[in-house]
Amino acid sequence: MSIGLVVFDWAGTLVDYGCRAPLLAFLEAFDQAGLPISEEVARRPMGAHKRDHAREILHYPEVAARVRSTLAREPDEALVQEIYEAFTHRLLELLPTYAAPIPGAVETLRRLRDGGIAIGSTTGYTRAMMDVLEPVAHAAGLAPDALICSDEVPQSRPAPWACFRLAERFGIYPMSRSVKVGDTPADMAEGRNAGMICVGVSESGNEVGLAPEQLAGLDAAGRATRVRAAEARLREAGAHAVLPSVAELPAWVENETK
């Protein structure tokens, strides 16, 4: 198999180990609205357009019930917009703090390019969000060849449109010659719907959901339990393979192309 294109997610995959920035922004936005939620609830829709993410949480039965009982209103589009705006305001403040490349990410992009592979990226972030994050990541050496944001396509994940646009841009077909790399079930669904090979990343991403120091603080059994659960969720969502992080991707690509 000749791989011509690799499409990366951003938070939890290329930057922001543990996918912390969007988590913290959603926790604060829902708390500000009078609807505190747990980290587990905040993380469930991760990878989607952030307005869709807010909407999905509001429509979880347990959250919708609290909207009606606590706020005496409906979990409607007006509330979605209020939470999304609060989330966006806070996220734009947090993004520079969580823009550091995940260990091995810069070297991974270099090795793939050296192998003649195009580097694309998609994200649940909007262009305005990436306008804050991207320059900081670029300054640290992380620069994909192309980026499609969630508000630049008719539908964001799990729809495949962003991946199709990247394949068209680089002239890579069939889609089975392209690989989607991400840390969420939404990433895997996006890649599957596009007919791509899907590679999940577990330890660095949303499904484990821990900063490096938190992960390092776990004993071996606790770490293995969290990683296995993350791997299972990614495989259930369609991952063909799951790696600890993008640092292991070049070796995986080399093995697949033998």
Distances (CA, A) of 92 to 51, 127, 190: 15, 11, 25
Bond before 154 cis per omega within 30 degrees: no
Under 8 Å between Cβ of 36 and 30: yes
Tokens matching residue 87? 């989330």
Under 8 Å between Cβ of 127 and 83: no
Residue 218 CA to residue 250 CA, distance in Å, equals 27
- Positions marked catalytic: 9, 50
The amino acid at 176 = S
Residue 95 CA to residue 139 CA, distance in Å, equals 14
Residue 10 CA to residue 224 CA, distance in Å, equals 24
Instruction: Tell me how crowded residue 42 is: count the other CB atoms within 10 A of its CB.
Output: 22
- The DSSP annotation for 147-207 comes to EE-GGGSSS-TTS-HHHHHHHHHHT--SGGGEEEEESSHHHHHHHHHTT-EEEEE-TTSTT
- Of residues 100, 42, 102, 51, the one with CA closest to residue 77: 51
